[in-house]
Amino acid sequence: MPAVEKVETQSMLVLDWNLADLPSSQHRAGLAGLVLVMRWMARKKAIRGKCTLARIDSRGATLELDEEGLKSLFDEVYAASSEEVDRAQPMKNTKTKKEIPYLRSVERSFTDKNGKEKTKTVYVYPQVVPAGSFLADLDAPASGGKGFWIKLWRDVVWGVLRGVPATRRPFEARAAKEDAGDAAVAWSELTRADNPALDLPSTYFVGAQATTAEAVSFTDRARQRFLLHFWPFATPIYVPQVVDNEGERNFVGFALAFPDVRDLDGFCLEYRRVLEERGHETNGYRPRDAVVDLAAEGALDLTRRLAERLVPLEGRKPTADLLLGIDVIHLEREGNNVRVRSSARVEPDLVMCDEYARIRSGYWNVRFRRQRLLNLLAKRRWFAGFERLAATVPVEQLIGDQYFRHDAREAFKEANVRDEVNADEPMTSEGLVYRVVGTYIASKVKSKTDLSWGDVKANPSKEKDYNEAREKVAKTAFLAVRSRSGGDFVAYFSGTLCSVPHHVGEEGFLVLTRALLADPETIRTLTLLALSARG
């Protein structure tokens, strides 16, 4: 628990925190956020009164401040301005359903999807916009605080963390140049000798409730809860995307990746540089580097970025020296409520980090990449779970999608499975299935078209016919395998896919036979993927 020294006049506090004494990753991220904000304020000479970091090392930090210094700190954390925003429709009060008065209505011109110029009426409302302290400075300085990274941060703070209007008072008061009174309340709490237990709302601690199912209240000590004002400045935000059955991509809520800091000073130095080096390309209206295929990927991405920072500095120093792990919480706003969709703790290592980098850069299909990431996090074999995709996703988005086929080929290559039928490769189930499927498709195409790859590889017109025939044979087999399981699949595999001559040898057939009898579902999954790759 933080130790506090209190001057008799209560004019100054010395707050001392050690990472090991803090109860959660959110608190430890809060301490890192405090350090980052304080260092930025010191560089900007934005501190009034007494507010200095007397100590900052790997284990923790010590803060010396008076009441004016605390107010200065809060004024920076909750700085905001009032701006005007356009709304397509007049806003309504969620409770009374009455229209909220707007400042004015104006005509805006725009170009529709057909390239035609049109006009529409929009309704202008005032809106409070959180400043974001040093985060706005690090987001494309030329953007004047209007970059996509700071917009993402503001959207999360305003729409999720402070989605309930009553919780926005600290920002709204400062936008109106009023005294919010929160610094005085915090000072009173921090100067009490008993370090009182205070309510812990979800505004400060994500996932907290008024009471647990056992009717136990969520509370925290004043000097620990104080740190929770700052974690938004040290917690990266990600945007999970999903693909529906029509193939449309949609963003689903936000994922917060709380770093469970182990080395405070080291993390703060490297994290600031990570923020500076983020890309500024966009995916829709979000930064491309923030878009992920599943929420827990945020932990892998943060680890990868820190690892890339450490490589040139200390020669593959593990990120475990900076972090104990990363806690990821996926939030989504539904009406006036914010729902926790999932939470996970990830403790990545260098091997997982390297594999993640390959998956993120080497795969093109969202569904394929997502399944590979799920398998990586769960430490399952690379092909696990694809049978479920085959059963639930339209075939046009699997073997019928060129990106999915590409990813299947890349996955078999990574598994050290060669394309050549006569390759001298180890007798693994993956290699054998890949070879059997390839030989079956080539044989069927030859019997239907009298064409082989050797005949067409230098002839573009014939190559097109050959590839179309391959796709048709592979798709027909894919549908047949997808509709079978258990003994039916074994009969189809042995009676159809193995009905043409194969060059796998006696040993290969023994390995394949044992696998079919012992684990037919694995062979079925590999067959579906091999058909996608070979088709």
Query: What's the rounded mean pLDDT across residues 158-165?
Result: 90
**Residue 179 predicted with pLDDT over 80:** yes
Query: What's the rounded mean pLDDT across residues 265-289?
Result: 92
Cβ atoms of 291 and 224 within 8 Å: the answer is: no
Query: What's the rounded mean pLDDT across residues 114-137?
Result: 89
Single-letter code of the amino acid located at 169: R
Question: DSSP labels for 243-302?
Answer: E-TTS-EEE-SEEEEEEEESSHHHHHHHHHHHHHT----EETTEEGGGEESSTTHHHHHH
Query: What's the rounded mean pLDDT across residues 136-159?
Result: 84
**Res. 467 pLDDT band, cuts 50 70 90:** confident
Q: What is the predicted pLDDT for the residue at 284?
A: 83
User: Hey, is 500 helix, strand or coil?
Assistant: coil
The 10 Å CB-count burial string (b at 16+, else e) for 117-139 is eeeeebbebeebbbbbbbbbbbb
Q: Which of 73-77, 96-100, 373-377, 382-386 bottoms out in mean pLDDT, i.e. has the lowest?
A: 96-100
Q: Which of 6-15, 39-48, 168-177 bottoms out in mean pLDDT, i.e. has the lowest?
A: 6-15
Q: What is the predicted pLDDT for the residue at 172?
A: 95
Q: How many CA atoms, within 13 angstroms, populate the side-chain half-sphere of residue 193?
A: 5
Q: Which residues contact 33 (CB under 8 A, 6 or more apart)?
A: 227, 230, 231, 232, 233, 234, 235
More confident residue, 321 or 359: 359
**Residue 348 predicted with pLDDT over 60:** yes
| Residue pLDDT, tens place only, 299-329 | 999 999 998 877 655 544 566 689 999 999 9
Question: DSSP labels for 474-487?
Answer: HHHHHHHHHT--HH
**Residue 10 predicted with pLDDT over 80:** no
Among the listed residues 234, 266, 221, the one whose alpha carbon sits nearest the alpha carbon of residue 21: 221
In the chain, the largest separation of any two C-alpha atoms, in whole Å, equals: 97
Give the containing element (helix H, strand E) for 71.
helix 67-77
Cβ atoms of 241 and 216 within 8 Å: the answer is: no
Query: What's the rounded mean pLDDT across residues 127-131?
Result: 93
Among the listed residues 365, 346, 350, 249, the one whose alpha carbon sits nearest the alpha carbon of residue 295: 346
Q: What is the predicted pLDDT for the residue at 312?
A: 57
Question: DSSP labels for 342-380?
Answer: EEEEE---HHHHHHHHHHHHH---HHHHHHHHHHHHHT-
Among the listed residues 374, 297, 357, 352, the one whose alpha carbon sits nearest the alpha carbon of residue 328: 297
Task: Please provide the average confidence, as pLDDT, over all residues in the chain.
Answer: 88
Cβ atoms of 35 and 53 within 8 Å: the answer is: yes
Q: What is the predicted pLDDT for the residue at 67?
A: 96
| Residue pLDDT, tens place only, 28-55 | 999 999 999 999 999 999 899 999 999 9
Q: What is the predicted pLDDT for the residue at 94?
A: 72
Q: What is the predicted pLDDT for the residue at 215?
A: 63
| Residue pLDDT, tens place only, 433-450 | 999 999 999 899 888 888
Q: What is the predicted pLDDT for the residue at 314?
A: 52
Query: What's the rounded mean pLDDT across residues 256-281?
Result: 94
Cβ atoms of 477 and 496 within 8 Å: the answer is: yes
Q: What is the predicted pLDDT for the residue at 248?
A: 84
Reading the block at residue 167, the tokens are 């919780």
Q: What is the predicted pLDDT for the residue at 5?
A: 44
More confident residue, 213 or 150: 150
| Residue pLDDT, tens place only, 389-425 | 999 999 999 999 999 999 999 999 888 765 444 455 5
Place of tokens 């006696």: 506
Among the listed residues 349, 274, 281, 358, the one whose alpha carbon sits nearest the alpha carbon of residue 316: 349
